[in-house]
Amino acid sequence: MKKEKEGWKDLPIGLVLGAATCLNFETGDWRSEKPIWDSEKCTHCLLCWVYCPDSAIIVKDGKVQGIDYKYCKGCGICAEECPPKVKAIKMVREEK
Amino acid sequence: MIVARTGNEAMAEAMRQINPDVVAAYPITPATEIVQLFSKFVHDGLVDTEFVPVESEHSAISACVGASAAGARVMTSTSSQGLALMHEILFIAAGLRLPIVICLVNRSLSSPINIHCDHSDSLASRDSGWIQIFSENTQEAYDSTIIAVKAAEAAFLPGMVTTDGFIISHGMERVELLDDKEVPKFLGERKLNYSLLDVDNPITLGPLDLQDYFFEHKRSEIDAMDHVLPIIEKVHKEFGDKFGRYYPIVDEYKMDDAEVAVLAMGSTGGTAKVAVERMREKGKKVGLVRARVYRPFPRDAMTKALSKVKVVGVMDRSDTMSTLGGHLYNDARSILYKSDNQPLMKNYIYGLGGRDISIEEIEAIYEQLFDIQKSGEVDKDVVYFGVRGE
């Protein structure tokens, strides 16, 4: 259910919000192209993780686990940054 | 301690005693001395302040915003074009509710370029959401600087304390300085509603605010402005009780039995007080009302003061370029719209670009106000006083 928006008297002083509010904003539904990650080819250099503007590369213990499609906007930066000799990420047309 | 100080020196002394955490500033005549002297205090280790010498006033106030959001007590100083260059960030500081204090030395805005006093710089920023306190003399500039820090922090709003360029800023006067230890004690620690440096409680500060919340945030800022005057009055009382110098929001001088009055701001208040004395020696019942706090506008206190007389001459050292006269005149007329005691009112725009205003000239204004009282008519609502060719 959608939360009622606060009136002005209920707002905190100053233009302050809690942190990490983008977690509530699922940018994954903006996607027209989708990155497909190949675990066989990946060398876990983490360049994709460094460059991803939405923190949508899932990493555990220094190893890429996959892509968080809830937040991935499909910008393709990860595929572009993946080293040419590795090419572990390719972009495909999003099918709904 | 009684000393001889210029307005700039007194404001620098106040800043030294306040010992702000951060001062970011850029020099501009006639305010340069304030931060120049302050930077010497930093160099000599007399304050703990992080001094940020930036490349412009826009950067100065921006650095102040960042530091204040981090929780620091922050001050800066500027004049005229410097304040104009700060303009966009002034609104941001107020919207973020950051109690930054500016020691502002009033100087005409270009063009024509000029370095002397009028109130066009501070009054062009009157709608930015900052508290504005105008000083009559050096003592008041010094005291108000300290008062403004406490009031701004209590209201979670920024404030500027002004002096009149060269007239106060460079005029040597007798000043009573407070004890170095008393000032930090009077101010206490800054109360924080949030801090960017509090990593255990991370926040998002100043996010994009569209049709759904912008209006609510603005409404809450307006409400904060609506609560400032009682806060300033409380700080005035605390200051007076502790140090013996009491200040009003609206300064009334010999108003109790006055028939006509001048309304003015800044150093002209002092000149007008002498004119009042001289007129009274001649048996003429005149008074002076001085807007010490200009923003927020002291509606009730001002209505009460102006309603006491039959005729008010409003002296504005600025013009709104709206063809409606000066700033103070427009505010004064506005608050009296619903008053049962509406005095006749005439606006005198004077002293632009630092043109001197003398005691004799103010006496002449009082004589004109008596003429208006006698005829019951204001021949011309807005006049330009002391300009050639009028």
Q: What is the average per-residue pLDDT within B380-387?
A: 98
Structural domain count, chain B: 2
Q: What is the average per-residue pLDDT within A60-83?
A: 97
Regarding whether B306 and B206 lie in a shared domain, the answer is: no
How far is C-alpha A77 from the geometric centre of its chain's CA atoms?
11
Stretch 21-80 of chain A: residues touching chain B, C-beta under 8 Å: 21
Average pLDDT over chain A reads 93
The CATH number of the domain holding residue B375 is 3.40.50.920
Phi, psi for residue B175 in degrees, rounded to 5: -135, 135
**Rounded Cα–Cα distance for residues A52 and A74 (Å):** 10
pLDDT digits (tens, 9 = 90+) for B30-69: 999 999 999 999 999 999 999 999 999 999 999 999 999 9
Regarding whether B208 and B278 lie in a shared domain, the answer is: no
The length of chain A is 96
CA nearest neighbour of B255 among B293, B309, B291, B292:
B309
Residue A51: inside a domain, yes or no?
A: yes
Answer whether A84 touches B (CB < 8 Å): no
CB–CB contact B207 A12 (8 Å): no
Residue A95: inside a domain, yes or no?
A: yes
Q: What is the average per-residue pLDDT within B372-377?
A: 98
Answer whether B193 touches A (CB < 8 Å): yes
Regarding whether B323 and B237 lie in a shared domain, the answer is: no
Range of the domain at A92: 37-96
CB–CB contact B209 A19 (8 Å): no
- Interface with B, mutate which of A2, A10, A16 (most B CBs under 10 A): A16
pLDDT score of A2: 58
pLDDT score of B81: 98
Range of the domain at B305: 250-385
* Residues in contact with B346: Cβ distance below 8 Å, sequence separation at least 6, in sequence order: B311, B312, B313, B314, B368, B369, B372, B378, B380, B381, B382, B383
Q: What is the average per-residue pLDDT within A4-19?
A: 90
pLDDT digits (tens, 9 = 90+) for B120-161: 999 999 999 999 999 999 999 999 999 999 999 999 999 999
Task: State the ipTM, two decimals.
Answer: 0.86
Q: For residue A31, what are the CA distances in angstroms to A28, A52, A55, A75, B47? A: 6, 14, 15, 8, 55
Q: Is the pLDDT of residue B360 over 70?
A: yes
CB–CB contact A8 B97 (8 Å): no
CB–CB contact A12 B194 (8 Å): yes
Regarding whether B364 and B237 lie in a shared domain, the answer is: no
Residue B219: inside a domain, yes or no?
A: yes
Q: What is the average per-residue pLDDT within A83-87?
A: 96
Structural domain count, chain A: 1
pTM over 0.90: yes
Residue A74: inside a domain, yes or no?
A: yes
CB–CB contact B216 A17 (8 Å): no
Which residue from A15, A19, A21 is facing B217, i.e. has the nearest CB?
A: A15
The CATH number of the domain holding residue B236 is 3.40.50.970
| CA dihedral of B300, B306, B308, B309, whole degrees rounded to 10 | -170
Q: Is the pLDDT of residue A17 over 90?
A: no
Instruction: State how beta strands B250-253 and B286-291 pair.
Output: antiparallel
Residue A10: inside a domain, yes or no?
A: no
The distance of A10 to chain B (nearest Cα, Å) reads 9
Residue B15: inside a domain, yes or no?
A: yes
Residue A52: inside a domain, yes or no?
A: yes
Regarding whether B313 and B200 lie in a shared domain, the answer is: no
Residue B28: inside a domain, yes or no?
A: yes
| Single-letter residue type at B226 | D
| Contact of B347 with B108, CB cutoff 8 Å | no
pLDDT score of B385: 98
Higher pLDDT, A22 or B27: B27
| Single-letter residue type at B360 | E
User: What residues in A contact B193, CB-CB < 8 Å?
Assistant: 12-14, 16
CB–CB contact B205 A6 (8 Å): no
Stretch 79-98 of chain B: residues touching chain A, C-beta under 8 Å: 95-98
The length of chain B is 390
User: What residues in A contact B202, CB-CB < 8 Å?
Assistant: 18-20
Domain stop point among B241, B268, B290: B241
The distance of A56 to chain B (nearest Cα, Å) reads 20
Residue B379: inside a domain, yes or no?
A: yes
User: What residues in A contact B217, CB-CB < 8 Å?
Assistant: 8, 11, 15
CB–CB contact A9 B220 (8 Å): yes
Regarding whether B304 and B216 lie in a shared domain, the answer is: no
CA nearest neighbour of B153 among B254, B238, B265, B213:
B238
**Pick from B193-197, B341-345, B368-372, B383-387: least confident:** B193-197
- Interface with B, mutate which of A2, A15, A22 (most B CBs under 10 A): A15
Residue B373: inside a domain, yes or no?
A: yes
Domain stop point among B241, B268, B294: B241
Regarding whether B236 and B265 lie in a shared domain, the answer is: no
Helix axes B80-95, B57-69, angle to 10 degrees: 30
Residue B390: inside a domain, yes or no?
A: no
Q: H helices of chain B, where?
A: 7-18, 32-43, 57-69, 80-95, 120-123, 138-155, 182-187, 214-226, 228-243, 268-281, 299-306, 327-335, 359-375
| Contact of B67 with B92, CB cutoff 8 Å | no
Q: For residue A59, what are the CA distances in angstroms to A56, A67, B111? A: 9, 9, 60
Q: Is the pLDDT of residue B322 over 90?
A: yes
| Contact of B142 with B169, CB cutoff 8 Å | no
Answer whether A4 touches B (CB < 8 Å): no
Nearest chain B Cα to A16, which residue?
B205
Regarding whether B182 and B215 lie in a shared domain, the answer is: yes
The distance of A2 to chain B (nearest Cα, Å) reads 14
pLDDT score of B254: 98
pLDDT score of A22: 84
Q: Is the pLDDT of residue A1 over 50?
A: no
Domain stop point among B200, B216, B241: B241
Average pLDDT over chain B reads 97
**Rounded Cα–Cα distance for residues B262 and B383 (Å):** 14
Assign A96 a pLDDT band (cuts: 50, 70, 90): low
pLDDT score of B195: 84
Residue A29: inside a domain, yes or no?
A: no
The CATH number of the domain holding residue A64 is 3.30.70.20
Q: For residue B153, what are the CA distances in angstroms to A57, B159, B226? A: 43, 9, 15
pLDDT score of A20: 85
Regarding whether B293 and B204 lie in a shared domain, the answer is: no
| Contact of B170 with B6, CB cutoff 8 Å | yes
| Single-letter residue type at B337 | Y
Q: What is the average per-residue pLDDT within B213-220?
A: 96
